[in-house]
Chains A and B, each alone.
Chain A
Amino acid sequence: MIIKQLSVFLEDKVGRLTKMTKILAEHDINVSAFSIADAADYGIARFIVDKPEAALKVLKDNNFSVNITDVTGVIVPHKPGGLHKVLQILSDNCIAIDYMYAFALENGEASAIIRSKSNDAVIKVLQENKLTLLEANDIYKI
């Protein structure tokens, strides 16, 4: 249930993101989902890729400051109130979200990546509420 996400520190300079995607491309690493958080003079790019460990290594070898973070992926019903339902469950259980981002699945469903300090609790309450969680292997293949 736990998905390995790459978090890459990027300076606010033209071409840094491109340099990173070039390295991933050259090493045949496929990106399933990503999001970028930006602060004043730097950003953090968060990536879900098919080979997280390999990606970590090649980025480190190329002097990127990169870490792996555990996140959870949940399938969000693709209809009004779908996202609300997921968030309501989490807040009812007092689970704080650090950040999240969404992407579409091939079958037309929507999916959200959630990062919380209490990943295990996220998994537990979402499962109890009959929501479908993404399996690591599934998402790496997207």
Chain B
Amino acid sequence: MIWNECIETADREKLREIQNERLSQMIERIYFNVPFYRKKLQEKGIEPGDIKSIDQLKDLPFTTKADLRDNYPFGLFTVPQNEIVRLHASSGTTGKPTVVGYTRKDLQTWSEVVARALTMAGIGKTDIMQIAYGYGLFTGGLGMHYGAEKVGASVIPISGGNTKKQIQLMRDFGSTAIACTPSYAAHLGETIHSEGIDLKEIRLKAGIFGAEPWTNELRKQIEKLLHIKAFDIYGLSEVIGPGVAMECECQNGMHIFEDHFIPEIINPETEEVLPYGEVGELVFTTVTKEAMPLLRYRTRDLTRLHVEKCACGRTLVRMEKCLGRSDDMLIIRGVNVFPSQIESVLLEMSETTPHYQLIVDRENNLDTLTINVEIDAQFWSDEIKQLEDLKKRIHHNITSLIGINAKINLVEPHSITRFEGKAQRVIDKRK
């Protein structure tokens, strides 16, 4: 099923025309309404009307997260406050939160893209959908909520946390779909198993997971634990929230809703635009956003794009699962390390659970990496030898992948703090 066939399977040339027109209108809006953008465009000698094609994107200035902070809270809004109908804010891990505003039309756009995403996962009128993303300032809950209502699903706005209640409603209401973070999905699955609940009582068929990086190995684990098909959704609040891109049933990358969000891949250092197929930083221009359009917003996410038509019939560009956010990237002794790399090593080993924590510290001016790994009770008997062997294998596999000598600590199941929202995978004590 395709929600919006006209756009999602459009001829690339036709899509390009739509993008050209929308980009040109957007430049006009931001030039005349946002001093920040006007100044940046003028510095490049660009006047509204100069930009007629997306080929000119490469000449336009970038916007960064720092720009959002500098213009906190409403400095980048293009419309007066009386046209803003919703405000969201991201948890500011460093300093001020990032604020995003939506006009009524922006909310409609958001529901539209989420509706397309849910349709990709086969979710529609006949489904009962449990939204276990946090509701509130975080865009996950409300974003999925209105998209799910738009496709006509029966929505359970349970929000995040309260695992017992989640499972109870799943059984009593017969939820067929769930949306939450992948780490919470794994936690739900583990709890269902440890409580000895018969999976036959759980009618889930599809799960939509995002908001944190996860690996294909974790996908397999979740699919096994919950007997569902797990779909990857991509989004960031600055751009709109969940629903920027989504995996179709072919699961061969996530289709970006390009009629609203024009993607580019750039070399993060030289800022030069890279061709399809090359890895670089993902950049978005949100051509239809009214409240807070972003020009060439640098997501810090590293990925690559594929433009070949998908087997599902969609012509929208596909982005690969992000290799990591350059924000998540740790630089340990000069080596770039992504938590997702560690995760994929651990998930390939059956003895460990997908729960781990990286602790980066500095001793005698040297960075140290300690990895706490929860062991799975099923896979060790009672010998130190066996556990030492497991430690050695984890150490070996990680060292050969990232080239850093990490200290491995085996820890008890459930000893690493679970946040019912996002998992805290990294503790960097050097900061």
Binding site for B on A (CB under 8 A): 5, 7, 9-11, 16, 37, 39, 41-42, 44, 46, 60, 63-67, 69, 98-99, 115
Residues on B with C-beta less than 8 A from A7 are 381-382
A/B pair count, beta carbons within 8 Å: 57
Q: Tell me if A9 and B381 are in contact (CB < 8 A).
A: no
A7 to chain B, nearest CB (A): 3
Q: Tell me if B387 and A11 are in contact (CB < 8 A).
A: no
- For the complex of A and B, 8 pairs with smallest distance between CB atoms: A7-B382, A65-B377, A63-B414, A69-B382, A39-B384, A41-B409, A11-B412, A65-B413
* Cα–Cα, bound, A42→B384 (Å): 9
Q: Tell me if A98 and B383 are in contact (CB < 8 A).
A: yes
Q: Tell me if A42 and B387 are in contact (CB < 8 A).
A: yes
Known A-B contacts: A9-B375, A44-B382, A44-B383. Give 5 more (CB < 8 A): A11-B411, A37-B384, A63-B415, A64-B412, A67-B382
Q: List which B394-430 residues lie within 8 A (CB) of chain A.
A: 409-415
Q: List which B10-26 residues lie within 8 A (CB) of chain A.
A: none
Q: Tell me if A9 and B409 are in contact (CB < 8 A).
A: no
CB contact under 8 A between A46 and B377, given known A11-B411, A39-B387, A63-B413: no
* Cα–Cα, bound, A5→B381 (Å): 11
Residues on A with C-beta less than 8 A from B381 are 7, 67, 69
Q: Which of B194, B380, B410 contacts A41 (CB 8 A)?
A: B410
Binding site for A on B (CB under 8 A): 194, 375-377, 380-385, 387-388, 409-415
Q: Tell me if A60 and B377 are in contact (CB < 8 A).
A: yes
* Cα–Cα, bound, A60→B383 (Å): 18
Q: Tell me if A66 and B377 are in contact (CB < 8 A).
A: yes
Residues on A with C-beta less than 8 A from B388 are 39
Pull 15 A–B residue pairs with CB atoms less than 8 Å apart, ordered by A. A7-B382, A9-B375, A9-B410, A11-B412, A41-B409, A44-B383, A44-B384, A46-B382, A63-B413, A65-B377, A66-B377, A67-B380, A67-B381, A67-B382, A69-B381
Residues on A with C-beta less than 8 A from B385 are 98
* Cα–Cα, bound, A42→B383 (Å): 12
Main secondary structure of the interface of A (DSSP, over half): strand
Chain A residue nearest to B415 (CB atoms) is A11
Chain A residue nearest to B414 (CB atoms) is A63
Chain B residue nearest to A115 (CB atoms) is B382
* Cα–Cα, bound, A60→B410 (Å): 17
Residues on A with C-beta less than 8 A from B410 are 9, 11, 41-42
B344 to chain A, nearest CB (A): 23
Q: Which of B194, B380, B383, B409 contacts A65 (CB 8 A)?
A: B380
B346 to chain A, nearest CB (A): 16
Chain A residue nearest to B411 (CB atoms) is A11
Chain B residue nearest to A37 (CB atoms) is B384
A67 to chain B, nearest CB (A): 6
CB contact under 8 A between A65 and B382, given known A9-B412, A10-B412, A11-B415: no
Residues on B with C-beta less than 8 A from A115 are 382
Residues on A with C-beta less than 8 A from B414 are 63
* Cα–Cα, bound, A41→B412 (Å): 11
Chain B residue nearest to A41 (CB atoms) is B409
* Cα–Cα, bound, A16→B410 (Å): 14
* Cα–Cα, bound, A5→B411 (Å): 21
Q: Tell me if A65 and B375 are in contact (CB < 8 A).
A: yes
Residues on B with C-beta less than 8 A from A64 are 377, 412-413
Residues on B with C-beta less than 8 A from A98 are 383, 385
* Cα–Cα, bound, A63→B376 (Å): 11
* Cα–Cα, bound, A5→B376 (Å): 19
Residues on A with C-beta less than 8 A from B411 are 11, 42
A58 to chain B, nearest CB (A): 14
Residues on B with C-beta less than 8 A from A41 are 409-410
B177 to chain A, nearest CB (A): 29
A12 to chain B, nearest CB (A): 9
* Cα–Cα, bound, A37→B381 (Å): 13
Among A5, A60, A65, max chain B CB count under 10 A is at: A65
Residues on B with C-beta less than 8 A from A11 are 409-412, 415
Q: Tell me if B412 and A63 are in contact (CB < 8 A).
A: yes
Among A5, A67, A69, A115, max chain B CB count under 10 A is at: A67
* Cα–Cα, bound, A16→B194 (Å): 21
Residues on B with C-beta less than 8 A from A16 are 412
* Cα–Cα, bound, A115→B381 (Å): 12
Residues on A with C-beta less than 8 A from B375 are 9, 65
Chain A residue nearest to B378 (CB atoms) is A67
* Cα–Cα, bound, A16→B383 (Å): 19
B197 to chain A, nearest CB (A): 15
Among B382, B409, B414, max chain A CB count under 10 A is at: B382
CB contact under 8 A between A5 and B382, given known A11-B412, A41-B410, A64-B412: yes
* Cα–Cα, bound, A98→B383 (Å): 8
B145 to chain A, nearest CB (A): 33
* Cα–Cα, bound, A66→B413 (Å): 10
